[in-house]
Structures are given as C-alpha cells and as structure tokens.
Amino acid sequence: MKGIIKKISQINFGLMSPEEIRKMSVIKIETPDTYDEDGYPIENGLMDPHLGVIDPSLRCRACGAKGGDCQGHFGSINLARPVIHVGFGDTIHKILRSSCNSCGRILLNDVEIEEYKAKIDALKENDESINDIIKEIYSVARKEKCPHCDEEQEEIKIDKPISIIEGDYKLTPSEVREKLERISDDDAYILGVNPEVARPEWMVLTVLPVPPVTVRPSITLETGERSEDDLTHKLVDILRINQRLIENMEAGAPQLIVEDLWELLQYHVTTYFDNEASGVPPARHRSGRPLKTLAQRLKGKEGRFRSNLSGKRVNFSARTVISPDPNISINEVGVPEMIAKEVTVPVHVNEWNIDELKKHIENGPDVHPGANYVIRLDGNKMRIYDETKDLILEKLEPGYIVERHLKDKDIVLFNRQPSLHRMSMMAHEVKVLPYKTFRLNLCVCPPYNADFDGDEMNMHVFQTDESRAEAKSLMRVQEHILSPRFGGPIIGAIHDHISGAYLLTRTGTEFTEEQAFQVIRKAKLPLPKRKHENWTGKELFSLLLPEKLNMHYKAEICQKCDECKLMSCEHDGYVVIEEGQLISGAMDEKAFGSFSGKILDTIMKEYGPEEARKFLDSSTDLAISGIMKAGITTSTNDEEIPEEAKERIEDHLDNAEKKVDKLVEAYENNELEALPGRSLEETLEMKIMQVLGEARDKSGEIAESYFDMTNHSVIMATTGARASMLNLTQITACVGQQSVRGGRIDRGYIERTLPHFRKNELGAKARGFVHSSYKEGLDPIEFFFHAMGGREGLVDTAIRTAQSGYMQRRLVNALQDLKVKENGLVTDNRGMVIQTMFGEDGVDPAKSDYGKAADLDKLIDEMRVKK
C-alpha cells in the first residue's frame, strides 16, 4: 500500500561454487539428529537455531531477529566424497563426450572453435536462445582423435540418470569432477557453460547447502508428536551416510565398502534433489508414500510456480452460494450482511470523513456499517472491541486508517470459475442484503456462465484507491455488455425476462391507466403524461427506448413465411421502432437477449454503456410486470395434442419404419446402390439415418401445427426464452434416433445391440430409434438406448472440458505478452513485432459492430432518414 519503492530489474541465474556455498553457510551441519530428549534443537544438527527459527519466542542465533522476522539462513554439509547433481547428469555426459579424455580440450579444431564462438556471441548479442547451437556443437564435437593432443577417444556413455561410463569403466564422481576441472573457461563457453557464472565441475557437488528451517518447518501433531518435513528426513539420511562414510574412510575400510557407501550417498543426494528421476527408485516415507523433495516442490500444477507464484491466495475475499435477484441492477451484487461485516475497506481518515468513520467505529465490529480495525499513525493495527472503542474514538485523527465494513456503493470484484474470459471477473457495486447468498441480476449470468443450482462465486474487495478507480472505469459490468469475442452483447436478457417482455409487448396486451402507472413507477421510469385511456404493452415498452431510436428487424418469433407481411405481421414478427416508439412487433430474444439482442446492441453502441444498463434494468422491471400480468406456467398439458394428431404421427412413423425395412431388405438382396466413395453398409446407414431423421422432423411438424401462441411452452420456445421446438416435439411426438459415436447404436452383444433382437438385425428399433414420445413414455428397450446416448453426452462433456482447458492455457501462455504499442504496433515483450496494425485495421473487436468499425448500410440509412 505504500507503493513500490524498489523495482527488480533483472534476475541472473547461475551455479553456486563450493566456496560460495560455504560462504553463505552460517553453520556446518554434522549431526544427523534434530532434537534432543528435552525437545531442544541439537547444536550442529539439522534444526540448529543458527538456521533460523520459526517460534516467535525464540531468537535466531545468526542474526538475532525474532522468529517470523528472520527469513532463515543456509547451512552446509561437507560431503565426504563428491556426488553428481541429478539435474546435470545429461549435461555432464554431453560435455565429457565433446571434450578430450586426456587433455580436456573441446573436440573441435581451432577454426571450428572460432566459428562457433562467433556464432554464440552473435546470438547472445541479439538476446536469442543458444540452445540450438549448443545442441549442434554437442553433435559436431565428437571426434575419434583429439585435434589438440592426438589422443584416441574412448566412447563415453551415460546410464541414466547419473552414471557416466567411459568404455567399460564406470567413472566415479571424483573422476568426473577431475575431468570437468580440466576444461578451460573458453572451451566451457562453447560447451554451453557460461564461465562468468558457472564452472563445469560445480555440477559435481562437494558441499551441500542445507536450507533454513523456514523452508522445511516441522509440524507438531495434536498428540504432541513432532513430524518432520520430507526435506529434513532426506537431509538426515544424507548426513547419516556421510558420517558413516567419513568414519569408514578414517578407519581405512576396504575400498568395496567405501564405494558402496559412496553409492548410497549419491542415491540420497539424488533423491534429495529429485525423487522422480527415471532409473532411481523413489525414496519413501515409512508409510510408503514417496517423499516430496526439491524438484517435486517446484513442479507441476500444485508446485511452487503454478500454485504459489503465478497464483496467490488473498485476503479480503469471500465465497458463497449465488442466487438470483431481478430487482437489483446489473451493476450491483447483493452481499450478505455477514460477509459485509467480515471483509473490510481501508479508509484514510481526513477532516471530511472523520465524523462518518467515527460512527463506524462506534458501531463496532458486530453492527453492520461498522469497522473492525484501526491502523494508527505508527502503523500498529488495533482491533476494535467494545472496551477499546472509546479510547480509539478519542485518539482518532487524520492519518489513521479505519478498516470499515463493506457498505452499499463500494466497488468489489466478482468472479466465477472457470475464469475463461475477462467477463468472468467484473466489478460490481455492493448492495448489502439480508440472508446468506450473493445475489446477482439475471442478465449477468451468461458472461459468468452461472446458474443457481448450487453455484458459488467469489468476491474480492479492493484495498487501494487506484484499484477502485481502475475497476470502476474498466471492469464494471456495464463496460462489458459487448463481448470482445464477436463485438455483440454478451450480457442480456434470458429466460423469463424474454418471455415476460414478449407477453408485455405482443399485440393485445393492455393496461388500465392505473396499472400502467404502477408499472412505470416500478420500473423507475420518468412519469409520462396521462392520456385517460388504456395503455398498450408496446406503449409502455416504448417509454424506455431512447427518443431518437429507429430500427426494424425480423424478430426471433418470425415464422419465416414465404412472403413477409412486414408491419402487418399477425405473429408480431416484424419489429419497427420509429423515433423511440415501438410501432409493431414484439420483444423477444432478438431484441435484448444475450448474444443476439439487436436493440440492446444498438443502444450500447449509439448511446453508451450507461444507457444500455438503464435499458436492461428497466426492461427487467417491465418484463416482470408483463409476466405477472399474463401469468406463465408450464406442464405436460402444454404438450397435449388431439387424438387425431397422434394418429397422424403414428402413421407417419410407421411409414418411416417400413421404409427402413425396405432399405434393409434391398441391402440384403444386394439391390442397394452404393454412394460414390462409400461402402454398401455405410450407404445403408446414411440412408436409414436420413429416413428416420425426416420422420422425426415430420412428426414434429405435425405436432407443431396443433400448437399456438396461447401455449406457454410454445411462447418460451419461439421467443428464445428457453427450450426449442425440437424439445417440445420430443415430448409430444417422437424422441427420435439415439446415437453413439455419430451413428446408430451398434454395440452391446455379439452382432446385436440387445438379446431381444435377431443377430445382425438392422431395423429401426433394433438400432436405437425411439418411436415413443417422452410424454407417452419409453419402453425398456428404448429407455436403454436413450441412456446410452445420454451417457455418451456426459462422457463427452467431461473429456471436452479437460481438453479445451489445456488448449486455453497454452493459448493464453503463448499470447499473453502481446500488447499494442503507442504507435499501433503489436509486439511481444522482446519488442518483436507480431502485427504492424492489430487485426490489419487496428479496430478493437469489443468496440466494433460485429467485427466492423461501422455498418455502412446503417450509416447510409441514418443519413437518409435525417434528411
């Protein structure tokens, strides 16, 4: 909060030399034990207080700071014999292979050396990766005779991960180290080891740094038992073997025993660094669980990098179940009082707000607009209690910081995972409400992809004025009504909002003046003049359209008649808005639905986000009035059709099934003609699928012809509020063909789907055609096939989310550094130009009109209207 004082400008990587390790070490660790019987750390042991302390009551012996203030200090272990660092096994092998066995020079002649050196220098100059050239050198620098001393070269092999073999003799780490020591700095440079920061022999360890206890804290279980960190366990193993090795060497033990111990030491050091190295059995805990050592701590999704450095846990956040509230604005979020009292906003006390903040302090932590903490001028944080309240109030002066409760109009960040796009995190205004769920307006469900079947969402409270300002101007919900993906609205009406608006605006809806004014009042619209007669729904809706709005389009309910009757459409399918008056047509998904709302889109683009927000908010209220006046409900009765219709459908389906039988017969008699490029079987399948598909569509059409707009299910389906006509016909007429892997069902028993059929039966029913409707009910066989199709869908979704998630991670990772420069270039962080102008015209898709900077025809129409 104090702002950044220091900025890290770069990080240099390098290897540590043994001297450096010793220099930074505060103590030599020699005893393989941690604590003595009394529970005190043993001197020169792994928990030596020189290494730093965790307990705030103790002091660090090295720096004298209290636990918590001291970040810890490294110790070191002097290894009795050198061991190879696992991570470098491969590199050591490649370096030895490319250098002379006897003189240690690189196996390149002087000309080549100069050549490669120049190449590496050039690459480094340009800040480019030298990996490829080093790889090339490793493969070129393999000669049978050393160009410098003419010595024949013995082949050097590697037994992964760390055994280096020369000819038939396995080199000891000491020998490896000696060989590496002979390589000159100049040669090392060409072999990919930068002599400025690393020497090849440093890849073989003689001293092992011991991380401070803060890196490997021990935990005390409830039973009072101490449990050590995995790293400590591993270090104990290393120390133990190291001590034994020293003792044996001092006692002059036989070479064989020394070598065995040495190997064991190598094993322990190897697993200390990486417990998943191939070819090395992982070191295990007593319980059989493999230890989590250094490499495992960093690696992967749960590793340090991805879970602690790229993503961090935060304070001032809250999470709870979400539920809908159409009465709050899309910009708002309902926050339970319980949460509002827990998460706080720091406010600097000044002359102008001191009185207000005093009220907060007076309320204390338990009464809603209260405060929890006060930070004094000296930076000390004090919790507000009933007892301390008065004292704090007395001392409060400008410069103090009060951590007050969240209250209405505060800006917070609201988020739902998976955060797939930037609209998954938007800034909302707080509205403190009773009960325990977050409340959100239904229009923001599509961008968050939220529903209310138990979804939870997170809220974060901004802690600085800068962040609040930024959030308010860049992240507010109303700024995100248009999606940058396709330049159309992503926030918009759904479900009852749409059907409600339809019921309100369709021809025939009328309100008495009294009712109309109630509706207008509820929608918080400016009151119009009285006109002493009934109001139509269209007139009411026109009240929230901007005055100069002109548009006409075909609505979602458009029946796609052969000839459009335009304004006189009896289905309300042609919308005409003139000078802000809804002349004809009804509101539906095309008007203000998410992804397709045309009116919303136009208002957003021509009148800006503020107007668009007001439009959405008021239209919600109007839609509620509309839906409450008409009343909407649905049940299977909506899908009832007369007996005569059922017969027609039945006839139709029977016909289709007969047609299928005929096709099968033709196939069996070899009379079927194969389509070009298809086998006979494939042709048959395609034809049957076609016949059955048509049969379902046709029976659906029959059923549809008995439906009309008085039917609530149909209203929902045709206005685009929810469900589709297909769903309705599946309930009424025929469910249709079930499929697995894109074809009819053909799996299960040998040569048949179920034992109820003959082998190789190809008829409609035998291959998963569901003749019944949902309303009639499925017979057991149909039910089974239906479940097969349903299961495939579930498996599909599960796999898809995993796959697309990974693809998205890769895409974001690859592109995240790109930005637009002041001169319009799109560059990456190295300054490399990717595009000279974003998208070839420099237009931001989020500000465009479905991808175009301007819709020319719209502009021309407008121009002509103006005249």
Partner 1 sequence: MEIDKKIIDKVEKIAKKKKADFPESYIHDIADAYVRRELTDSELETLIVRVRKAYERARVEAGEAVGTVAAQSVGEPGTQMTMRTFHYAGVAELNVTLGLPRLIEIVDARKKISTPTMAIYFEDDTKEDEEFVKKLANYIGKSTVNDILKDFYINYAEMKVEAVIDEEKIKDKRLDLSEIIANIEKPFKKVVTIDGSKLTFEPAKQSLRELRLIADKVRDLQISGIKNIGKVIIRKEDEWIIHTEGSNLGDILKIDGVDKARTTTNDIHEIETVLGIEAARNAIMNEALRTLEEQGLSVDVRHIMLVADMMTSEGVVKSIGRHGISGEKSSVLARAAFEETGKHLLNASIRGEVDKLTGIIENIIIGQPIPLGTGSVGVMMKPSKTKAKTKTK
Looking at residues 418 to 477 of the shown chain, list those that interact with partner 1 (rule: CB under 8 A): 420-422, 470, 474
CB 540 within 8 A of CB 521: no
Q: Is the dihedral of CA 672, 678, 680, 684 positive or negative?
A: negative
CB 51 within 8 A of CB 213: yes
Rounded-to-integer distance, Cα 172 and Cα 97, Å = 16
DSSP 8-state assignment for residue 398: B
Q: How far is the CB of 457 from partner 1 (least distance, A)?
A: 18
Token pair, residue 849, equals 């009109």
Q: How far is the CB of 842 from partner 1 (least distance, A)?
A: 5
Which residues share a beta bridge with 220?
A: 226
Span near partner 1 by CB under 8 A; candidates 323-331, 426-434, 578-586, 839-847:
839-847
Span near partner 1 by CB under 8 A; candidates 251-259, 325-333, 657-665, 809-817:
809-817
Span near partner 1 by CB under 8 A; candidates 43-51, 649-657, 662-670, 811-819:
811-819
Q: Does 257 bind partner 1 (CB under 8 A)?
A: no
Q: Is 303 or 609 the residue whose CB approaches partner 1 more closely? A: 303
Interface positions, 259-278, toward partner 1 (CB under 8 A)? 274
Q: Is 45 or 104 the residue whose CB approaches partner 1 more closely? A: 104
Q: Does 192 bind partner 1 (CB under 8 A)?
A: yes
Backbone angles phi, psi at 75, to 5 degrees: -115, -170
Q: How far is the CB of 742 from partner 1 (least distance, A)?
A: 5
CB 219 within 8 A of CB 227: yes
Helix pair angle (643-668, 680-704), 10° resolution: 170
CB 403 within 8 A of CB 396: no
Interface positions, 23-52, toward partner 1 (CB under 8 A)? none
Continuous H helices in 378-444: 389-395
Q: Exposed, middle or buried, 9 (CB in 10 Å: 0-12/13-18/19+)?
A: exposed
Q: Is 53 or 86 the residue whose CB approaches partner 1 more closely? A: 86
Q: Is 334 or 487 the residue whose CB approaches partner 1 more closely? A: 487
Instruction: Choose which of 63, 130, 246, 280 interacts with partner 1 (CB under 8 A).
Output: 130
Q: Does 854 bind partner 1 (CB under 8 A)?
A: yes
Instruction: Choose which of 131, 512, 705, 724 interacts with partner 1 (CB under 8 A).
Output: 131
Q: What is the dihedral of CA 141, 142, 143, 148, to 10 degrees?
A: 40
Q: Which x/- pattern, by CB under 8 A, does the window 742-781 give for partner 1? A: x---------------------------------------
Of 544, 554, 605, 556, the closest CA to residue 576 belongs to 554
Instruction: Choose which of 65, 118, 140, 197 interacts with partner 1 (CB under 8 A).
Output: 197
Q: How far is the CB of 820 from partner 1 (least distance, A)?
A: 5
Q: Specify the 3-state DSSP secondary structure of 327.
A: coil
Instruction: Choose which of 193, 231, 523, 735 interacts with partner 1 (CB under 8 A).
Output: 193
Q: Which x/- pattern, by CB under 8 A, does the window 548-587 give for partner 1? A: ----------------------------------------
Q: How far is the CB of 810 from partner 1 (least distance, A)?
A: 5
CB 440 within 8 A of CB 473: no
Interface positions, 662-681, toward partner 1 (CB under 8 A)? 675-678
Q: How far is the CB of 803 from partner 1 (least distance, A)?
A: 6
Q: How far is the CB of 14 from partner 1 (least distance, A)?
A: 5
Backbone angles phi, psi at 719, to 5 degrees: -80, -10
Q: Does 839 bind partner 1 (CB under 8 A)?
A: yes
Q: How far is the CB of 165 from partner 1 (least distance, A)?
A: 22
Angstrom distances, CA of residue 573 to CA of 501, 506, 565, 707, 713: 14, 10, 9, 17, 18
Q: Which x/- pattern, by CB under 8 A, does the window 612-651 give for partner 1? A: ----------------------------------------
Q: Does 686 bind partner 1 (CB under 8 A)?
A: yes
Rounded-to-integer distance, Cα 814 and Cα 458, Å = 27
Q: How far is the CB of 283 from partner 1 (least distance, A)?
A: 17
Rounded-to-integer distance, Cα 411 and Cα 466, Å = 12
Of 551, 569, 539, the closest CA to residue 709 belongs to 569
Q: Does 221 bind partner 1 (CB under 8 A)?
A: no
Q: Is 64 or 677 the residue whose CB approaches partner 1 more closely? A: 677
Span near partner 1 by CB under 8 A; candidates 26-34, 193-201, 314-322, 518-526:
193-201
Convert 513-570 into a string of H (helix), E (strand) and C (coil).
Answer: HHHHHHHHHHCCCCCCCCCCCCEEHHHHHHCCCCCCCCEEEECCCCCCCCCCCHHHCC
760 Cβ contact partners less than 8 Å away, ≥ 6 residues apart: 751, 752
Q: How far is the CB of 789 from partner 1 (least distance, A)?
A: 13
The DSSP bridge pattern shows strands 826-827 and 833-835 to be antiparallel
Q: How far is the CB of 819 from partner 1 (least distance, A)?
A: 5
Q: Does 10 bind partner 1 (CB under 8 A)?
A: yes
Which residue type occupies 113? I
DSSP string, 768-829: TEE-S-TTT---HHHHHHHHHHHHHHHHHHHHHHHHHHHHHHHHHHHHTT-EE-TTS-EE-T
Span near partner 1 by CB under 8 A; candidates 19-27, 216-224, 714-722, 802-810:
802-810
Q: How far is the CB of 791 from partner 1 (least distance, A)?
A: 14
Instruction: Choose which of 367, 787, 832, 865 interacts with partner 1 (CB under 8 A).
Output: 832
Instruction: Choose which of 551, 630, 725, 826 interacts with partner 1 (CB under 8 A).
Output: 826
Token pair, residue 534, equals 């009934």
Instruction: Choose which of 2, 7, 286, 530 interacts with partner 1 (CB under 8 A).
Output: 7
Rounded-to-integer distance, Cα 352 and Cα 149, Å = 85
Rounded-to-integer distance, Cα 522 and Cα 620, Å = 10
Rounded-to-integer distance, Cα 461 and Cα 339, Å = 11
Continuous H helices in 377-494: 389-395, 445-448, 465-470
Of 703, 697, 688, the closest CA to residue 769 belongs to 688
Tracing tokens 């017979």 back to the chain, one arrives at 779
Q: Which x/- pattern, by CB under 8 A, does the window 85-124 give for partner 1? A: --xx--x---------------------------------
Token pair, residue 373, equals 């903490």
Interface positions, 394-423, toward partner 1 (CB under 8 A)? 420-422
Q: Does 17 bind partner 1 (CB under 8 A)?
A: no
Of 65, 35, 37, the closest CA to residue 48 belongs to 35
Interface positions, 282-341, toward partner 1 (CB under 8 A)? 295, 298-300, 303, 305-306, 309-310
Instruction: Choose which of 1, 9, 224, 560 interacts with partner 1 (CB under 8 A).
Output: 9
Interface positions, 781-800, toward partner 1 (CB under 8 A)? 796, 799-800
Q: Is 4 or 111 the residue whose CB approaches partner 1 more closely? A: 4
Site size toward partner 1, by CB under 8 A: 102
Q: Is 67 or 488 the residue whose CB approaches partner 1 more closely? A: 488
Q: How far is the CB of 3 from partner 1 (least distance, A)?
A: 10
Rounded-to-integer distance, Cα 321 and Cα 648, Å = 49
Interface positions, 718-747, toward partner 1 (CB under 8 A)? 741-742
Q: Does 485 bind partner 1 (CB under 8 A)?
A: yes
Q: Does 125 bind partner 1 (CB under 8 A)?
A: no
